[in-house]
Amino acid sequence: MEINHFCLFFDNFAPMAGLYLHIPFCESRCYYCDFYSSTFKGNRDLLLSSIQKELRERRQYIKEPVRTIYFGGGTPSQLTTEEISSLLQTIFDNYDCRVEELTLEANPEDLAADYLQALKSLGVNRLSIGVQSFDDEDLKRINRRHTAQKAIEAVQLAQQIGFDNISIDLIYGLPQQTLMGWKKNIQQTIDLNVQHISAYSLTFEEGTMLTKMRDRGEIMEADEELSFEMFKLLRQTLSENGYVPYEISNFALPGYESKHNSSYWNYVPYLGVGPSAHSFDGQSRRWNIANSRLYISKMADGDTYYNMEMLDNFTRYNEYVMTGLRKKEGVDIAVLETLFGKDLRDYFLRMIDAYIKEEKVIKEGQHYYFSEDGIFISDYIIEELFWME
């Protein structure tokens, strides 16, 4: 019964899928990062051939044509263009591809003119450049390997070469970052005329260097109120300059919303290959082992290299509410009912009612989304709406 609900949803709304490749190479480790990646280069060829093998073996995982391809990491711009070409060829040979968006995450240091030209001729039509800050002191404190000037030059060079869909990543709430420093970052971003911005508040993840430094008293976590002011300034300034906050942390000029990331938020199936990559088929989630050496050996031996969780109706409801409310258009109650049934629909309406009365949530037709006030306490409200057993 539930499977039929999902088929109905996909048939009517999103009969396309996304493909994610996790490229776990990094030249150095940033102090805040807890993504799986390694600076060890010894097993590079074996790792890439294991990813190719996974691509071939899992071609039945997604039934829908591939609409988006996303090279993430790690640092995919550490790949040579020959390696990227070979991975793409494997995808084109094994999947029904109707690719509209082909994104590559890149470090500014890697974006030389000939490399950018080659990426363009391979069909890469969207670059996601990891800038994080346009302040050299911020960059040093988090161990980024580029400078602010290098980031500016990389964006401008990509634009000269003809990339017209560029996203940059920023982080706010960095140690010692001031509101004025953050304001300059936002202005620099606007001045560069990029089409898309992802901006996240710094989080101190377990095991990262930054968390160790905080625990040793070497750095201070940003004051919560300051982070909140930074978020407010970000939303306000970007909105005034034509960027639509189509998701809480993502801003785009109209027409430049990330199709690939929107798939995650719209609950569309996706296949992720490579160490630590996640996949979703509408019913279950799979995540690959976050260890290149084990990933390679298990792939070679035909052993299981992933964990899997079947998602029950309540878990899927919670995920859907969380990702739905983070989007500008919010949760569509008709879709929610189609996916999860009348009982969870009634539960959602009962729980959200108080926030509508407080004007934290707006109801417009069948859509429920955060008001400008509500957005600032979105995490709290989302949790309140979760189904708790």
- When CB distances to ligand SF4 are compared, the closest residue is 33
| Spatial distance between the Cα atoms of 126 and 154, rounded to a whole number of angstroms | 14
Sign of CA dihedral 328, 333, 337, 340: positive
Residue whose CB is less far from ligand SF4, 170 or 335: 170
Q: Is 175 in the site for ligand SF4 (CB under 6 A)?
A: no
Q: Which residue has the tokens 């949790």?
A: 383
Q: Which stretch binds ligand SF4 (CB under 6 A): 41-49, 73-81, 227-235, 292-300?
A: 73-81
Number of residues binding to ligand SF4, judged by CB under 6 A:
11
Q: Is 167 in the site for ligand SF4 (CB under 6 A)?
A: no
The DSSP letter of residue 65 is P
Among residues 18, 73, 175, 272, the one that binds ligand SF4 under rule CB under 6 A: 73
Sign of CA dihedral 172, 71, 66, 115: positive
CA angle 258, 264, 266 (to 5 degrees): 90
Residue whose CB is less far from ligand SF4, 289 or 336: 289
Range 1-40, binding ligand SF4 (CB under 6 A): 26, 29-30, 33, 35, 37
Range 99-128, binding ligand SF4 (CB under 6 A): 107
Residue whose CB is less far from ligand SF4, 64 or 109: 109
Among residues 74, 269, 272, 330, the one that binds ligand SF4 under rule CB under 6 A: 74
- Rounded to the nearest whole angstrom, what is the least distance from the CB of residue 272 to ligand SF4 in the complex? 15
| Spatial distance between the Cα atoms of 318 and 313, rounded to a whole number of angstroms | 9
Please return the burial class of 304, using the count of CB atoms within 10 Å of its CB with bins 0-12, 13-18 and 19+: exposed
- Rounded to the nearest whole angstrom, what is the least distance from the CB of residue 128 to ligand SF4 in the complex? 11
- Rounded to the nearest whole angstrom, what is the least distance from the CB of residue 73 to ligand SF4 in the complex? 5
Residue whose CB is less far from ligand SF4, 73 or 374: 73
- Bridge partner residues of 169 (DSSP): 130, 198
Residue whose CB is less far from ligand SF4, 33 or 253: 33
Residue whose CB is less far from ligand SF4, 33 or 213: 33
Q: Which stretch binds ligand SF4 (CB under 6 A): 40-48, 72-80, 200-208, 240-248?
A: 72-80
Residue whose CB is less far from ligand SF4, 210 or 268: 210
Range 125-164, binding ligand SF4 (CB under 6 A): 130
- Rounded to the nearest whole angstrom, what is the least distance from the CB of residue 231 to ligand SF4 in the complex? 20
Q: Is 75 in the site for ligand SF4 (CB under 6 A)?
A: yes
Kindly state the helix (H) or strand (E) to which residue 246 belongs, with its residue range: strand 244-247
- Rounded to the nearest whole angstrom, what is the least distance from the CB of residue 37 to ligand SF4 in the complex? 4
| b/e code 326-361 from CB counts within 10 Å (16+ = b) | bbeebbbbebbbbbbbeebbebbeeebeebeeeebb
- Rounded to the nearest whole angstrom, what is the least distance from the CB of residue 74 to ligand SF4 in the complex? 5
Listing DSSP states for 262-294 in one string gives: HHHHTT--EEEESTT-EEE-SSEEEEE-S-HHH
DSSP reduced 3-state for 58: coil
Quickly count: other Cβ atoms within 10 Å of residue 278's Cβ.
Answer: 15
Q: Is 168 in the site for ligand SF4 (CB under 6 A)?
A: no
Mention every residue, 6+ apart, whose C-beta is less than 8 A from residue 339: 5, 6, 9, 267, 316, 317, 320
Kindly state the helix (H) or strand (E) to which residue 306 belongs, with its residue range: strand 306-310
- Rounded to the nearest whole angstrom, what is the least distance from the CB of residue 105 to ligand SF4 in the complex? 8
State the angle between helix axes of 313-326 and 333-340 in degrees (0 to 180), rounded to the nearest 10: 160
Q: Is 374 in the site for ligand SF4 (CB under 6 A)?
A: no
Q: Is 199 in the site for ligand SF4 (CB under 6 A)?
A: no
| Spatial distance between the Cα atoms of 311 and 247, rounded to a whole number of angstroms | 24
- The residues that touch ligand SF4, with contacts defined as CB under 6 A, are 26, 29-30, 33, 35, 37, 73-75, 107, 130
